[in-house]
């Protein structure tokens, strides 16, 4: 458990250290170094799990298996690459006066705080600690969303706090109901919230209580996923907060909330003995996917537009986990990876584009490929990737989802195809002028670090052409854990 301890220790140290020195010029570099060490520790943890199997800590507080360890590595990796972009970006924000020294300290400490709470959520074996850590991530994000202290950012932070606070309270009630059902079955009441113990007794728990619990859990954690109609906080949070926060919010936090839902589904399915939980997830997923695709056409802010794209893709993942077959589950796990990598890359290019144009308004961002070709091409390729063009990994994961849908629910294929076409049109109706349009007078290049974008998009292309055997085995093990059988 040394690797897990290091993975959690360094972000915790980072909170305290950057809270003191976050206003210094070296803060961006310190944030990056801490993120690199965290990623190295997470990678070491993953290798350990892959070679020796799941690990349960001595006090049973932490449990690492194939399902959560790959998300731990993904979290640490995106946190590290976003930190590369974050330093120069926030230095520019300080230079133009959008933040001061105090807010820089807050930003960097909460950046590590955000990563720390998400890593705790992924690694804990206790469903109560899972709830607390996701709420902790909410509080860290509220401070980041409202960082600029404008009227709009404070309103977005308040909306995020209220909506997600109400949602997370529903998840708390659902967790209490799970404990209530477990108390009747599990001899040791102190173990009634331990995932490993609950999994062993899931089939013996009261089906009525577990069904009611899952409804509250889906609504509660579904608020954090951004499922329609619980999504209203997400576009505002993206548009008003710092762009690095958007990259890790869209690429990481939404995955964590969906991870929590899937963990609970793994307990509810044996208790109910039917597909109720899957049907609910399919319904919410399809609704989110369809509504988000339509709302893409109404956006005038580039960050809001891509936030609706995130809602669309989280809806697809929720739908895939709801189907529940080996192919759909494998595809959903792969989609978690490729969506996180692609969307964080897109938000990095969006941040640079907003600096070039001096605004986030779609109508005023023009001619990126002429003003700064690297940013323009990154924006174009990233958008093609998230739209599901081959050979990108998003195409592969969506192809797996469509194949599973044809096999299990062929009547749902037309709505999925129509939804993809609508979302595609919503993205590309704005893409052409932003990339290829005539640059406005005075638009100048900015200092842009595109290495994270190149790395992310290269990985997404690689996963679209050929999934490495190690990763395929990894995802197959997670699929077996979730539904009892794999695809390989």
pLDDT tens column, 117-175:
999 999 999 999 999 999 898 888 888 888 888 888 888 888 888 888 888 899 999 99
pTM of the model: 0.94
309 close to 238: Cβ distance less than 8 angstroms: no
Question: Nearest 10 degrees: CA dihedral of 423, 428, 434, 437?
Answer: -160
Residue 243, pLDDT > 70, answer yes
Q: Binning pLDDT at 50, 70 and 90, where does residue 447 land?
A: confident
* The total number of residues written for the chain in this structure: 488
164 close to 224: Cβ distance less than 8 angstroms: yes
261 close to 221: Cβ distance less than 8 angstroms: yes
Q: What is the pLDDT of residue 461?
A: 95
Distances 418 to 289, 290, 439 between C-alpha atoms, Å? 11, 9, 34
Q: How far apart (Å, rounded) are the C-alpha atoms in residues 14 and 114? A: 11
Q: Binning pLDDT at 50, 70 and 90, where does residue 242 land?
A: confident
Q: Binning pLDDT at 50, 70 and 90, where does residue 488 land?
A: low
Residue 486, pLDDT > 80, answer no
User: Is the torsion defined by CA of 294, 298, 301, 304 positive or negative?
Assistant: negative
pLDDT tens, position by position, 52-73:
888 888 888 899 998 899 899 9
Question: What's the mean pLDDT in 40-46?
Answer: 93
């Amino acid at each position: 458990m040394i690797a897990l301890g290091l993975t959690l220790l360094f972000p915790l140290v980072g909170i305290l250290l950057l809270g003191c020195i976050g206003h210094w010029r070296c803060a961006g570099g310190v944030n990056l170094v801490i993120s690199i060490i965290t990623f190295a520790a997470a990678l070491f943890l993953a290798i350990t799990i892959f070679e020796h199997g799941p690990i349960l800590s001595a006090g049973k507080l932490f449990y690492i298996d194939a399902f959560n360890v790959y998300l731990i590595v993904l979290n640490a990796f995106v946190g590290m690459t976003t930190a590369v972009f974050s330093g120069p970006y926030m230095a520019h924000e300080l230079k133009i006066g959008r933040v001061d020294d105090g807010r820089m300290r807050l930003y960097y400490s909460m950046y590590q705080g955000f990563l720390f709470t998400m890593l705790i959520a992924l690694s804990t074996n206790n469903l109560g600690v899972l709830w607390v850590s996701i709420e902790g991530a909410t509080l860290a994000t509220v401070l980041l969303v409202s960082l600029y202290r404008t009227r709009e950012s404070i309103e977005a932070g308040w909306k995020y706090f209220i909506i997600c606070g109400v949602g997370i309270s529903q998840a708390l009630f659902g967790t209490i109901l799970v404990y209530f059902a477990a108390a009747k079955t599990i001899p040791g009441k102190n173990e009634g919230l331990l995932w490993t113990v609950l999994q062993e007794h899931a089939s013996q728990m009261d089906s009525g209580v577990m069904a009611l619990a899952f409804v509250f859990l889906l609504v509660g954690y579904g608020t954090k996923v951004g499922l329609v109609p619980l999504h209203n906080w997400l576009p505002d949070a993206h548009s008003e907060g710092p762009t690095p926060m958007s990259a890790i919010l869209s690429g990481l936090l939404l995955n964590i909330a969906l991870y929590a839902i899937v963990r609970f589904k793994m307990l509810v399915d044996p208790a109910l003995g039917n597909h109720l939980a899957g049907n609910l997830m399919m319904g919410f997923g399809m609704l989110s996917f369809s509504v988000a695709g339509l709302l893409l056409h109404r956006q005038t802010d580039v960050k809001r537009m891509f936030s609706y794209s995130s809602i669309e893709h989280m809806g697809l993942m929720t739908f895939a986990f709801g189907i529940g077959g080996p192919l759909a589950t494998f595809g959903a796990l792969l989609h978690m990876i490729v969506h996180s990598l692609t969307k964080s890359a897109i938000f990095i290019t969006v941040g640079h584009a907003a600096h070039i144009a001096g605004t986030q308004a779609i109508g005023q961002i023009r001619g990126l490929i002429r003003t700064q070709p690297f940013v323009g091409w990154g924006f174009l390729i990233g958008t093609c990737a998230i739209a599901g063009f081959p050979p990108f990994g998003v195409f592969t994961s969506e192809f797996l989802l469509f194949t599973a849908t044809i096999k299990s629910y062929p009547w749902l294929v037309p709505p999925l195809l129509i939804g993809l076409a609508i979302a595609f049109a919503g993205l590309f109706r704005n893409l052409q002028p932003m990339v290829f349009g005539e640059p406005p007078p005075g638009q100048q290049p900015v200092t842009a670090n595109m290495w994270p974008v190149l790395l992310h998009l290269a990985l997404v292309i690689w996963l679209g052409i050929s999934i490495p055997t190690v990763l395929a085995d990894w995802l197959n093990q997670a699929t077996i854990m979730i539904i009892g059988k794999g695809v390989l």
